[in-house]
Amino acid sequence: MAGGVVDRPIERDLVIRARDGDLDAFSTLTSSRAGRLFAVARLILRHHELAEDAVQETLIRAWQDLRGLRDPDRFDAWLHRLLVRACYRTAERDRRHAAIELDVDRHIPAAAGDPQAWIAVHDQLERGFRRLSAEQRAVIVLHHYLGLTLADAADILGIPLGTMQSRLSRATQVMRAALEADERTPATVGGALR
């Protein structure tokens, strides 16, 4: 906890310096966040190259608009808001949903037990996640992947808390229905063939 207290003034100072036009300070701030930004964009867009485009657009926009950031302590929330909006724009520009690549983690955790079972579950989740819109994936990623509270995720998305709750509920329902349909399909097909 003490490390967070020490780091906060340094972070704030970097944001202020970057806001005042210090490119080195901006680079320091964003380089430590680039991997996380990419992971979030990848989860929302489900496509490696599109995620790279969204992160690049986010960083360019952040540099251009940083002077407008009033509260340096809100830098991370502001940056994630820019990223989510860039993901939405990227998804709108490029509707290549058919070309989405399957991203199977090459580092299967040792605790996963049966690697084939882990890959099957991962593949099923991937198929379910693909059926969600970019907006639905965004609420799930912000809340479940980043671990943000509903209020913080709503703030990043620029929506009321109630809207965030209903979007998350709807996204969860769509994901659940997609997974249940995916589970029923092989049994039905197998039963019909006999």
Q: Are 47 and 101 in contact (CB under 8 A)?
A: yes
pLDDT of residue 73: 92
Kindly state the average pLDDT of the residues 126-139. Answer: 85
pLDDT of residue 186: 54
102 CB contacts (<8 Å, ≥6 apart)?
Answer: 123, 126
User: 12: domain range?
Assistant: 1-96
Q: Give 17-54 pLDDT, tens digit per residue.
A: 999 999 999 999 999 999 999 999 999 998 899 999 99
Q: Examine the domain organization and report whether 177 and 128 are in the same domain.
A: yes
Going from the C-alpha of 20 to that of each of 3, 8, 24, 70, the distances in angstroms are: 26, 18, 11, 12
Q: Give 86-107 pLDDT, tens digit per residue.
A: 999 998 887 644 334 434 344 4
Q: Is residue 104 part of a domain?
A: no
Q: What is the CATH number of the domain that holds 152?
A: 1.10.10.10
Q: Is residue 102 part of a domain?
A: no
The helix/strand/coil state of 2 is helix
Q: Give 172-181 pLDDT, tens digit per residue.
A: 898 888 888 8
Phi, psi of 95 (to 5 degrees): -95, 55
pLDDT of residue 41: 95
Q: Taking the alpha carbons of 187, 190, 192, 194 in that order, is the dihedral positive or negative?
A: negative
Q: Is residue 105 part of a domain?
A: no
Q: What is the CATH number of the domain that holds 47?
A: 1.10.1740.10
